[in-house]
Amino acid sequence: MKGFSTFAIDKSLILMQHPVLNNLNISVLSVDQGLRLCYINPSAESLLEISGNRGLKQPISSFFLNAADLEPILFEALQSGQMYTRRKVKLDLFTGRSVTCDYSITPYMDAEKPRLLLELYPLDRYLRIDRDESISTHTEVTRQMVRGLAHEIKNPLGGIRGSAQLLARELKTDQLRQYTDVIIDETDRLTSLVDRLLGPNSALKPECMNIHEVLERVRTLIAMESDPPIEIHQDYDPSIPEMNLDAELMVQVVLNIARNAMQSLVDINTPKITFISRVERQYTIGSIHHKLAVRMSVQDNGPGIPEALKEHLFFPMISGRSNGTGLGLSVAQAIIQQHHGLIEFDSEPGNTTFSIILPLETSA
């Protein structure tokens, strides 16, 4: 192990930095000369979807389906004592998911035994963060434009409605007043549409509650509304603590997502919706990193979202249905942003999942 004299990391430094490594957003693992896991930080546990306690002393091959591609490089690092870096490597997990990472391998000595420090930089996460920030920026710009346009529309609508009411008082017959009633009704409908375009304009009314109350309330409504009946499943994490949320607004968001899922299943032989809750560790929302976040998901087995709509799905007036207004997801995103969270989705034919991610420590 001659190369270690030049490239090794001092054992005491590694041990001292364990508390720091536990709080890093970077995924860090350490393996021994048999490529068995010696240490894993929470970020790596989340990325690789494994339990650190159960994974300790297990070979690296038990974490990756394509470990055969990684093992020769690890053995080479052990033999040479040299640091290695690889770019855009796809790691296939046993959960069926794949992650694309840059990674670096650094040899060090522990009790005079060679070890390797493996740092994973998940590109999928960074791409998601960039995408979420881009969507948030575009959504905010669009919302400001829509707000300005909406106020310009509401002013003449108010004048039209008032004039129709005055005219109705001058008309002598009910038959003629039917025309002014139509004008008033249509004006009210347009005003209501403009108000929906403006989105939520009131302060949140947070209360301490369990998110499963929201999911169960929506699940019950969807079960009653679905015709023909839809197979509905629950996959909850009961350990999630209570959070400060605006219950009514949160139901509005989840119900909107669930109804979209239900409507997409019209032509599916065995329609299915699953409500899911999970805790996410070391999660970044916008530019803010959170140690803990909660994910509420609605998953369906529908046809998926057309590629042409994916980049613009949260913009106002964008809808995949001919009779849709395109306001539901835009308003839902605005409500979740008020809760300092975000909505994201993953969609392919047969599997579409919309997820609401909320920071656990600052959910009000």
Q: Does residue 319 share a domain with residue 235? A: yes
Which of 144, 163, 198 is a domain's end point? 198
Q: Which tens digits make up the pLDDT trace of 127-150?
A: 665 666 666 666 666 666 666 666
User: 100: domain range?
Assistant: 4-123
Distance between CA atoms of 43 and 39, rounded to whole angstroms?
12
Rg of the chain on CA atoms, in Å: 27
Integer angstrom CA distances of residue 339 from 182, 195, 210, 243, 310: 39, 20, 15, 11, 23
Q: Does residue 350 share a domain with residue 228? A: yes
* Nearest residue to 295 via CA among 342, 347, 232: 342
Q: Does residue 76 share a domain with residue 146? A: no
| Phi, psi (rounded to 5 degrees) for 316 | -60, 145
Given a cut of 70, whether residue 9 has pLDDT beyond it is: no
Q: What is the mean pLDDT of residues 152-166?
A: 85
Per-residue confidence (pLDDT) for residue 110, from 0 to 100: 77
Per-residue confidence (pLDDT) for residue 294, from 0 to 100: 95
Q: b/e for 233-257, b at 16 or more Cβ within 10 A?
A: eeebeeebeebebbeebbbbbbbbb
Given a cut of 80, whether residue 151 has pLDDT beyond it is: no
* Nearest residue to 329 via CA among 275, 278, 258, 230: 258
Q: What is the mean pLDDT of residues 227-244?
A: 92
What's the mean per-residue pLDDT of the chain? 81
Q: What angle is formed at CA 279 by the lines to CA 300 and CA 116, rounded to 5 degrees?
A: 115
Question: Does any domain span residue 364?
Answer: no
Q: Which tens digits make up the pLDDT trace of 309-320?
A: 877 777 665 555
Q: Which tens digits make up the pLDDT trace of 185-222?
A: 888 888 877 776 666 666 778 899 999 999 999 999 99
Q: Does residue 164 share a domain with residue 49? A: no
Integer angstrom CA distances of residue 343 from 91, 209, 294: 26, 20, 12
Question: In sequence order, which residues have a C-beta less than 8 Å from that of residue 34 and are 6 or more positions away?
Answer: 59
Per-residue confidence (pLDDT) for residue 101, from 0 to 100: 85
Q: Does residue 194 share a domain with residue 111? A: no
Q: What is the 3-state secondary structure (H, E, C) of 253-297?
A: HHHHHHHHHHHHCCCCCCCEEEEEEEEEEEEEECCEEEEEEEEEE
Q: Does residue 141 share a domain with residue 115? A: no
Place of tokens 């609401």: 356
Which of 94, 123, 152 is a domain's end point? 123
Per-residue confidence (pLDDT) for residue 358, from 0 to 100: 94
Q: Which tens digits make up the pLDDT trace of 319-344?
A: 555 454 445 687 788 888 889 898 98
Model pTM score: 0.56
Q: Which tens digits make up the pLDDT trace of 85-129?
A: 888 888 888 887 788 888 899 998 877 788 899 988 877 666 665
Q: Which tens digits make up the pLDDT trace of 21-70?
A: 776 678 888 999 899 998 888 888 888 888 877 888 899 888 888 888 88
Distance between CA atoms of 255 and 280, rounded to whole angstroms?
22
Distance between CA atoms of 25 and 136, rounded to whole angstroms?
22
Integer angstrom CA distances of residue 133 from 249, 259, 270, 313: 23, 26, 36, 15
Given a cut of 50, whether residue 364 has pLDDT beyond it is: no
Q: Does residue 213 share a domain with residue 355? A: yes
Which of 176, 198, 220 is a domain's end point? 198
Q: Which tens digits make up the pLDDT trace of 273-321?
A: 999 999 988 777 876 778 889 999 999 999 998 888 877 777 665 555 5
CB 296 within 8 A of CB 290: no
Per-residue confidence (pLDDT) for residue 133, from 0 to 100: 63
CB 59 within 8 A of CB 36: yes
Q: Does residue 333 share a domain with residue 223? A: yes
DSSP string, 144-213: HHHHHHHHHHHHHHHHHHHHHHHHHHH--SHHHHHHHHHHHHHHHHHHHHHHHHH---S----EEE-HHH
Q: Does residue 221 share a domain with residue 170? A: no
Per-residue confidence (pLDDT) for residue 128, from 0 to 100: 60
Share of the chain above pLDDT 90, in %: 26
Per-residue confidence (pLDDT) for residue 90, from 0 to 100: 86
Residue 8 pLDDT level (bands cut at 50, 70, 90):
very low
